[in-house]
Chains A and B, each alone.
Chain A
Amino acid sequence: MSGIVIDHNKCIKCLACIKACPFNALSLENDKIEVNAACRLCKVCIGVCPTQAISLQDVIKKVIDKNLYQGILVYVEHTDGNIHPVTYELIGKALELAKKIDQQVYCLFIGENIKEKANVLLEYGVAKVLVYDHLDLRYFRVDNYANVFESAIKKLMPNTVLVGATTTGRSLAPRVAVRFKTGLTADTTILQMRENTDLVQIRPAFGGNIMAQILTTKTRPQFATVRYKVMDAPQKVTNVTGSIEIGVVNESMLKSKIELLEVKRKEATFEISEAEVIVVAGNGVKDEKGLKLVSELAELLDGVVGMTRPMIEKGTGSYLQQIGLSGRSVKPKLIITCGVSGAIQFVAGMDKSDTIIAINSDPNAPIFKTAHYAVVSDLYEVLPLLIKQIKGEIINEL
Chain B
Amino acid sequence: MKIIVCIKQVPDTQKVKVDDKTGVLIRDGIDTKMNPFDLYALETAMKIKEQINAEITVITMGPPSAKEVIKEAYALGADSGYLLTDRKFAGADVLATSFTLAQGITAIGGYDLIICGKQTTDGDTAQVGPAIAEHLAIPHVSWVVKIKDVCDKSITFMEDMLDDIAIAKMNYPCLITVDKDVFQPRLPSYRLKQQAETKTINILTLEDLAQKDSEHYGLSGSPTQVEKIFEPTSEHEVERFEQDDKNNAKLLYQKLKELKYVKELS
Residues of B within 8 A of A47 (CB): 22-24
Closest to B138 in A: A257
Whether A213 lies near B226 (C-beta < 8 A) is yes
A3 touches B239 (CB 8 A): no
Interface size on A, residues (CB 8 A): 117
Tell me what chain B mostly uses at the interface: helix, strand, loop, or mixed: mixed
Q: Which residues of B221-252 have CB atoms within 8 Å of chain A's CB atoms?
A: 222-232, 234, 236-242, 245-252
Interface residues of B in 170-199 (CB under 8 A from A): 170-171, 174
Interface residues of A in 207-222 (CB under 8 A from B): 207-219
Residue from the list A1, A200, A371 in contact with B88, Cβ < 8 A: A1
Find out whether the CB atom of A41 lies under 8 angstroms from the CB atom of B91. yes
* Contact call A211/B232, Cβ cutoff below 8 A: yes
Assess whether B167 is in contact with A261, with CB atoms less than 8 Å apart: yes
Asked whether, in the complex, the Cβ of B25 is within 8 Å of the Cβ of A210, the reply is yes
CB pair A398–B246 under 8 Å, yes or no, is: yes
CB within 8 Å for A257 and B174 given contacts A207-B14, A373-B241 = yes
Contact between B87 and A376, CB atoms less than 8 A apart:
no
CB–CB A204/B232 < 8 A: yes
Whether A377 contacts B249 by the Cβ 8 Å rule is yes
Q: Is the CB of A334 within 8 A of B261?
A: yes
- Residue on B with the closest CB to A171? B142
Task: Report whether A301 and B95 are in contact in the complex, using a CB–CB cutoff of 8 Å.
Answer: no
- A98-152 interface with B by 8 A CB criterion: 139-140, 142-143, 146
Specify which chain B residues have a CB less than 8 angstroms from the CB of A214 in the assembled complex.
224-227
Q: Which residue of B lies closest to A371 (CB)?
A: B238
- Whether A42 lies near B229 (C-beta < 8 A) is yes
Residue from B27, B84, B127 within 8 A of A184 (CB atoms): B127
Contacts of A359 in B (CB 8 A): 252
A184 and B94 within 8 A (CB): yes
Within 8 A of B (CB), among A340-398: 344-345, 347-348, 351, 355, 357, 359, 363, 368-378, 381-382, 385-386, 389-390, 392, 395, 397-398
Q: Do residues A186 and B126 form an inter-chain contact, with CB atoms below 8 A?
A: yes
**Knowing A37-B63, A213-B230 touch, does A175 contact B87 (C-beta < 8 A)?**
no
* Residue B1 at the chain A interface, CB threshold 8 Å: no
One digit per residue, 1 when the CB lies within 8 angstroms of any chain B CB and 0 when it does not, for chain A 58-94 equals 0101000000000000000101001010000000000
B73: which A residues are within 8 A, CB to CB?
none
Q: Is residue B107 within 8 Å, beta carbon to beta carbon, of the partner chain?
A: no
Instruction: Decide: A260 and B166 in contact? CB cutoff 8 A.
Output: yes
When C-beta atoms are compared, the residue in chain B nearest to A218 turns out to be B223
**B interface residues, tally (CB under 8 Å):** 104
**Chain A residues in 8 Å Cβ range of B94:** 174, 177, 183-184, 186
Chain B nearest CB, measured from A364 CB (Å): 12
Q: Which of B67-93 contact A (CB under 8 A)?
A: 84-93
**A210 near B230 (CB under 8 angstroms)?**
yes
Shortest beta-carbon distance from B260 to chain A in Å = 10
Say whether B241 contacts A376, CB under 8 Å.
yes
Give Cα distance in the complex from A211 to B256, angstroms: 33
A174-B171 in contact given A38-B90, A374-B240, A398-B246 (Cβ < 8 Å): no
Among B18, B140, B174, B242, the residue within 8 A (CB) of A363 is: B242
> Which residues of chain B are within 8 angstroms of A262 by Cβ–Cβ distance?
166-167
Q: Binary interface profile of A, 321-348, with partner B (CB < 8 Å = 1, else 0)?
A: 0000100000000100000000011011
Closest chain-A Cβ to B19's Cβ sits at a distance in Å of 9
Residue B218 CB within 8 A of the other chain: yes
Among A20-28, A153-161, A235-243, A282-290, the one that faces the other chain is: A20-28
Known A-B contacts A24-B11, A142-B141, A261-B168; the reply to A216 vs B162 at CB < 8 A is no
Q: Are A183 and B131 in contact (CB under 8 A)?
A: no
Distance, CA A178 to CA B93, complexed state (A): 12
Contact present for B166 and A381 (CB under 8 Å)? no
Q: For the complex, is B160 an interface residue (Cβ under 8 Å from A)?
A: yes
A4 and B167 form a contact (CB under 8 A): no
| B245: chain A residues within 8 A (beta carbon) | 377-378, 381-382, 385
Residues in B whose Cβ lies below 8 Å from that of A174: 94, 98, 127-131, 134
Bound state CA distance, A325 and B232, in angstroms? 14
Q: Which residues of A contact B168 (CB under 8 A)?
A: 258-261
Closest A residue to B83 by beta carbon equals A37
- Say if the beta carbon of B124 comes within 8 Å of chain A: yes
Contact A2 B220 (CB under 8 A): yes
Q: Is the CB of B249 within 8 A of A382?
A: yes
Assembly CA distance A258 to B156 (angstroms) = 10
Given A2-B219, A34-B87, A178-B135: A389 in contact with B141 (beta carbons within 8 A): no
Q: Specify which chain A residues have a CB less than 8 angstroms from the CB of B214 in the assembled complex.
A: 1
B27 touches A392 (CB 8 A): no
Could you tell me if A22 and B25 are in contact, using CB atoms closer than 8 angstroms? yes
Verify B218–A3 contact, CB threshold 8 A: yes
CB-defined contacts of A209 to chain B, threshold 8 Å: 14-17, 231
Q: Give the residue of B27, B87, B234 whose beta carbon is less than 8 angstroms from that of A37.
A: B87
Query: CB < 8 Å: which of A1, A37, A210, A377 contacts B241?
Result: A377
> In this assembly, does B133 line the interface, its C-beta being within 8 Å of a C-beta of chain A?
yes
Q: Which of B91, B236, B253 contacts A4 (CB 8 A)?
A: B91
Q: Which one of A162-170, A244-252, A310-318 is at the interface?
A: A162-170
- Which of B15, B218, B261 is the most central at the interface, judged by chain A CB atoms within 10 Å of its CB? B261
A-B contact list, 19 entries, CB within 8 Å: A20-B24, A24-B65, A37-B87, A61-B215, A79-B163, A139-B161, A140-B161, A178-B135, A179-B134, A209-B14, A257-B170, A260-B167, A263-B167, A264-B166, A368-B240, A374-B242, A375-B248, A377-B248, A382-B248
Across the A-B interface, give the 3 residue pairs with the lowest CB-CB distance, nearest first: A385-B249, A207-B14, A183-B223
Extra contacts besides A4-B91, A375-B252, A376-B248 (13): CB < 8 Å:
A24-B32, A25-B63, A38-B62, A39-B90, A44-B229, A207-B122, A211-B231, A212-B226, A213-B230, A265-B165, A301-B261, A363-B242, A375-B248
